[in-house]
Structure 1
Amino acid sequence: MADRVDEKPIDTEDKDERDIVLSARDVTVGFGSKVVLDNLNLNIYRGEILGFVGASGTGKSVLMRTVLRLLPRRSGTIKILGQDFDELDEPQRNALDMRLGVLFQQGALFSSLTVKENIQVPMREYLDLPRSLMDELAHLKIRMVGLAADAADKYPSELSGGMIKRAALARALALDPELVFLDEPTSGLDPIGAAEFDELIANLRDSLGLTVYMVTHDLDSLFSVCDRIAVLGKKRVMVEGTIEDMLAYDDPWVQAYFKGKRARSIVPQDDGARHGSSGK
């Protein structure tokens, strides 16, 4: 059953027995007189890939940046892995930050650092490790995301778009996080590269037990790897649920997005079948 805009996500065992990894309650975010998110509510469950979609300007990136404390909120509470950042001291916040990984839309690699050095940035910030161990861990992450070993000593300017995304993902995984945030991970990739990246995300979720918060406009990603989808609109989460819930939800934008020409080329509209892997 999909959660609707006028309902708070239910966080009882009747709704889902898995742990709630991220919860947002009555979150309001604005800039000056403009309110972007208004009393937004959301749950993300352990082990799932949750895809966020919405029309341009609905606040997808604003929500992610608010959750990551890169933007302030006017009201509401956000709990990650059962903890409210507002109630933590600095050491506790650092400990929680280490359990999160982030891949920004364009990769956001440091141009003056090699791939290996980029991956080691969070290690240097949070850990006290010898250089040899950091090198070993960086090479492990490079292999994990499917990059060749010689990518370690290359600079971002020497990488293709797909390689940049993989290097950025390796950095997001540097501290073995439990929850990973992906902002448009397949943006700018050709269809083959995007499909390969989707498969990589699904495989890493399964092998590492990750929970994935993914902002995307890529219908292929939504249909192939996302267990659930949250649609942002009207300053809040309009509907939360599976592909089947999206296909059945009575809203013009949702219907146009999930039943439009592009969607019909991906999935049969008579059954809404989804063939991707599931963490359920």
Structure 2
Amino acid sequence: MTDIIQPQASVQTHPSRESGTNTPPPLLKVMDLTVGFDEDNILENLQLEVQTGEILGIVGASGTGKSVLLRSILGLIPKRSGRFVIFGHDMEQLSARDRLKVERRLGVLFQHGALFSSLTVLENIQVPMREYLSLPKRLMNELALSKIELVGLHPDAAHKYPSELSGGMIKRAALARALALDPHLVFLDEPTSGLDPISAEEFDDLISTLRDTLGLTVFMVTHDLDSLSQACDRIAVLADRRVLATGSMHELQGNSHPWIKRYFTGKRAVRQWDKS
């Protein structure tokens, strides 16, 4: 059996920025998703589409379920109902073997990096390779070093432990691990959280560059207005247990919902328009 997902070509245009013709099917569709704990639903009948080649920002107030949505798509949190269609395949209908093929095309950067403290950067990046592939050690070393270079880390970082890294280096090392299997779809959970403004801006630029050069599609949970403005093609706002609105920052600025209006037209947001 051949792989059910074929490698993507590098993406040159972004559907959300160039409205109109030849928009491909969504790379990810979330349909009627309900997720809850005990008697409470965090998400309820949620609908969302992620287009091929875009950087989609997921934003919402604390506790609205942004990370719950991400982890539910990844199968880390059970859903009460709903469907996920990834690369055109309904995940509920796939065999275990074919689900594995899909999962190998996903990369994840968890909040705070989530690197294994007892492993070096090189060994952390090799974790997905060891889990999904059977490769000789020398080849894994070469591949891991190439990912380290790809995310802008110095080769010397390969043999450092997470405790020896700065916050920005941890994020880049975690991104290198997320890219270990050359994914098509990458999930980022608060990737610039805890970074100083310069490091955060550099990381946003890195994400945009990697999207353009590798043909990635990016699902990014963030509360960072700079990231939303500089890196994201489109933004989805979570509120009232669902996706309340989607659009560009300028489109959402005109939304009349109280929370959206306050978030995108408040003093901090106004500074974004002044800089743009």
Q: TM-score, normalising length from structure 2?
A: 0.91
CA distance in 2, matches of 1:172, 1:75: 28
Instruction: Note the C-alpha offset of 1:244.
Output: 1.9
CA distance in 2, matches of 1:32, 1:110: 31
Is 1:106 paired with 2:100? no
Identity among equivalent positions (%) equals: 62
Instruction: Note the C-alpha offset of 1:18.
Output: 2.2
Query: Map of 1:162-181 to 2, 5 A cutoff?
Result: 162-181=168-187
One-letter identity of the residue aligned with 1:125? E
Partner SS for 1:187 = coil
Query: Map of 1:185-264 to 2, 5 A cutoff?
Result: 185-264=191-270
* Structure 1 outlier segments of 4+, above 3 Å: 13-16
Is 1:135 paired with 2:141? yes
**Equivalent residues, number:** 258
Select 1:77's aligned residue among 69, 83, 102. Answer: 83
CA distance in 2, matches of 1:209, 1:191: 26
Partner SS for 1:20 = coil
Which residue matches 2:156? 150
Q: Does the Cα contact within 8 Å between 2:147 and 2:180 map onto a contact in 1?
A: yes
Select 1:29's aligned residue among 14, 26, 35. Answer: 35
Partner SS for 1:79 = strand
Q: Which runs of 5+ in 2 are unaligned?
A: 1-18
Select 1:62's aligned residue among 58, 68, 73. Answer: 68
CA distance in 2, matches of 1:128, 1:19: 33
Partner SS for 1:265 = helix
Is 1:91 paired with 2:94? no
Partner SS for 1:195 = helix
What is the aligned-residue RMSD (CA, Å)? 1.4
One-letter identity of the residue aligned with 1:253? W
Select 2:125's aligned residue among 119, 125, 141. Answer: 119
Instruction: Note the C-alpha offset of 1:119.
Output: 0.2
Which residue matches 2:165? 159
CA distance in 1, matches of 2:265, 2:184: 33
The one-character-per-residue Cα deviations of 1:128-179 (angstroms, maximum 9, x if unpaired) are: 1111110000000000000000000000010001000000000000000000
User: 1:241 and 1:16, CA in 2 relative to 1: closer, same or farther beyond 3 A?
Assistant: farther
Instruction: Note the C-alpha offset of 1:246.
Output: 0.4
One-letter identity of the residue aligned with 1:187? S
CA distance in 1, matches of 2:211, 2:20: 25
Q: Does the Cα contact within 8 Å between 2:113 and 2:170 map onto a contact in 1?
A: yes
Which residue matches 1:53? 59
Which residue matches 2:47? 41
CA distance in 2, matches of 1:157, 1:85: 37
Partner SS for 1:266 = helix
The one-character-per-residue Cα deviations of 1:15-52 (angstroms, maximum 9, x if unpaired) are: 97123111011111111110111100000000000000
Q: TM-score, normalising length from structure 1?
A: 0.90
Partner SS for 1:42 = strand
User: 1:250 and 1:15, CA in 2 relative to 1: closer, same or farther beyond 3 A?
Assistant: farther
Q: Which runs of 5+ in 1 are unaligned?
A: 1-12, 269-273, 276-280
User: 1:14 and 1:146, CA in 2 relative to 1: closer, same or farther beyond 3 A?
Assistant: closer
